[in-house]
Structure 1
């Protein structure tokens, strides 16, 4: 069992979860269910892809030095930390009383075309009415709630990877 939790295998697990998460978002939710992602959903996807990119680099390259492993781990954990924070914000918006939900904005495409990036980030994180609506539930959980649970599991995998970096397994199991 310990061999399954090696640094490289855990990186491949993160890559696999990125593919599964993006496949779920793009093919099931967007194409099959016909749900359009709100700006917060798009930013969560970006965080997941950042994590997956760093995990893929770490899995393919399989660096031996601890500083390089830590840099790749840090890039990966920043990506998934970003996605987790955005998902938390999204869940919070969905649980606001109806009179406190922000009004719908013009949309992410318009903001990207007309506003500087710092203002776009502010507008997205402030949320809008479209981000607060619950379009679909599975097992009683909205999509942001499902995402938040998924991202927390990925953060736990990152904790295990960090443990593997600072306390590598010995080649001799005895």
Structure 2
């Protein structure tokens, strides 16, 4: 019916899905580094946590690619990726919420994640990083009207959907 059916390009193997997941995560991390170094946009603690989640998803994808798991293993790896992606979506969604309903100006501190862990006790640093600071509510850059955390949220949702699709592909 269609000569150039775009659906033929959808990955049909778990390896292809893990490869796309890995490349997507590395591309996002590379773009984040570009925004930080070239555009001079300093990441807030929530942004740094989201980068860490993207790195963890990429790491799980590499392990899955190297081990060539059976169906049960694919379910495990894809499940881990889905959990990480949904956790990342939760964090990014929280940051979008902070952008819409910013905290009072007195909560702005501008501390990086590494500085938080150097200065504060572990539990306090984790709490402050997850709750976000005033800097997490500042929108410094947009693409097509969406902020970086909004794009991050959409990316995490896409990764979770891809992980479920990977299980579906493996079951055939």
Structure-1-length-normalised TM-score = 0.85
Distance of aligned partners of 1:79 and 1:163 in 2 relative to their CA distance in 1, 3 Å threshold: same
Give the counterpart of 1:133 among 138, 145, 149: 138
- 1:7/1:161 contact within 8 Å kept: yes
Aligned to 1:151: 156
Gaps of at least 5 residues in structure 2 are 1-7
Find the residue that maps to 1:63 and give its secondary structure.
Answer: coil
Do structure 1's residue 91 and structure 2's residue 96 form an aligned pair? Answer: yes
Do structure 1's residue 105 and structure 2's residue 109 form an aligned pair? Answer: yes
Distance of aligned partners of 1:2 and 1:130 in 2 relative to their CA distance in 1, 3 Å threshold: closer
Q: How many residues align structurally?
A: 164
Distance of aligned partners of 1:130 and 1:4 in 2 relative to their CA distance in 1, 3 Å threshold: same
Find the residue that maps to 1:57 and give its secondary structure.
Answer: helix
Gaps of at least 5 residues in structure 1 are 170-174
Distance of aligned partners of 1:3 and 1:61 in 2 relative to their CA distance in 1, 3 Å threshold: farther
* Alignment deviations for residues 131-150 of structure 1 (CA, whole Å, 9 cap, x no partner): 00011111111111111112
- 1:40/1:127 contact within 8 Å kept: yes
Aligned to 2:126: 121
* Alignment deviations for residues 22-77 of structure 1 (CA, whole Å, 9 cap, x no partner): 111112x11221101100000000111111110111122211251x2232223222
Distance 1:78 1:128 in 2: 25
Give the counterpart of 1:163 among 157, 160, 168: 168
Provide the alpha-carbon RMSD of the alignment: 2.0
Aligned to 2:87: 82
* Alignment deviations for residues 86-136 of structure 1 (CA, whole Å, 9 cap, x no partner): 100000000015x64661136133320133333222111211111000111
